[in-house]
Amino acid sequence: MKKRFTEEQIIKALKRWEAGEKPKDLCRELSVHEQTLYNWKSKFGGMEVSEAKRLKELEQENLRLKKLVADLSLDNQILKGSEFKKVVGPKAKRTAATIVVDQFKVSKARACRVLGLNRSTLDYECTQQDDSALRERMLELAAKHRRYGSPRLHWFLRKEGLVKNHKRTERIYGLLGLQLKNRKKKKMGSVLRFPRPKAAAPNEVWSMDFVSDRIESGRRIRCFTLVDDFTKESPGILVEHSISGSRITRYLDSLGVLPKRLRCDNGPEFQSKALLEWAYLRGVEVEFIEPGKPIQNAFIESFNGRFRDECLNDHAFMSIDHARFIIERWRKEYNEERPHSGIGMKTPKQFALEMQAMLPA
């Protein structure tokens, strides 16, 4: 029967052999083969017990280091695989871990450790929701509002009860490839200036500016844009081939309501005698921004950017009447349907009605 001997027992047996005891008698007593005795002698001959124990510790340490090197070598071999480079995301890492287990015959725990994947994530079974209705509706909204991003599409979807969490909207938005290419904005330095009073009620401050475009015949058209700084509502957009100061005054009179202040740049139409005289007679203050600093008229600049991006750049105008029809339709949509992030994702018309209800009669 085989028996495991300690280093102390082996050293004592070798000492007895060196003292003159016959190998056959030792083998019979210890129940080992004579060849085993010679193996002990080749390994432990001339050693003391402490030296033998130290030798065993060194052998165990050597085995541990060899195993560590082998493990590191295998881990390095796994990571060098071309299919495991730049593995990003739980789904991709789960697929990579399955391939590692099958290809390298390692445990799941080791595959997860090498790839930096949580063990519970590997065994996770995804229970996907049925997003077909949400996808179809999102595509419909994106087709109708081609320059609306994820936040505004989410506002519409949440209003219709199709989604609650914005992260679900963003996930499907990305899967459908609806991301917009943002145009680079010009950097504006901070300007130290006398702070102008902000609008605190509807029809207190209107900002006005011009936007140019052309019809298919090549003839230029000019759009006179207006926006209420407080409600973000656009009172109107005048579209003509050319617009003078007197034409602006007639258009403002046709709107039926006037603001207390008009904010504009230093264009010749706004500095014309006709407009300044009209403003004096109507009791409207014309507020000019500093030359070369459009950021002081930020509300109309932002409105013009949306106007050009969502309307002018999205349509080809056959005639000026066609342009007026398309632009007026967009203005109504902007006021009544499009949520504005600056007023809590409400439409300008909804926000204006709420503010009018809060004001004293």
Tokens coding 67: 């195993």
Per-residue pLDDT of the chain (361 residues; tens, 9 = 90+): 445 777 777 777 777 777 777 777 778 777 788 788 778 777 777 666 667 677 777 777 888 877 777 777 767 777 666 455 567 777 788 888 888 888 777 888 888 887 778 888 888 877 777 888 999 999 999 888 888 889 999 999 999 999 989 999 999 999 998 888 766 654 443 333 445 678 888 999 999 999 999 999 999 999 999 999 999 999 999 999 999 999 999 999 999 999 999 999 999 999 999 999 999 999 999 999 888 888 889 999 999 999 999 999 999 999 999 999 999 999 999 999 999 988 889 999 999 898 887 766 5
Collapsing DSSP states into helix, strand and coil, what is residue 10?
helix
Cα separation of 186 and 176, whole Å? 30
Residue type present at position 135: R
| pLDDT for residue 82 | 45
| pLDDT for residue 225 | 97
Pairing of strands 220-228, 261-264: unpaired
| pLDDT for residue 213 | 96
Tokens coding 141: 């909204």
Cα separation of 273 and 280, whole Å? 11
Residue type present at position 320: I
Please report, in angstroms and rounded to a whole number, the separation of the first and last CA atoms in the chain: 109
| pLDDT for residue 52 | 65
Strand-pair partners of 213: 221
Tokens coding 164: 């609650």
Asked if residues 135 and 172 have their Cβ atoms less than 8 Å apart, the reply is yes
Closest CA to 154 of 146, 145, 163: 163
Closest CA to 326 of 345, 311, 304: 311
Handedness of CA 145, 146, 152, 157 (dihedral sign): positive
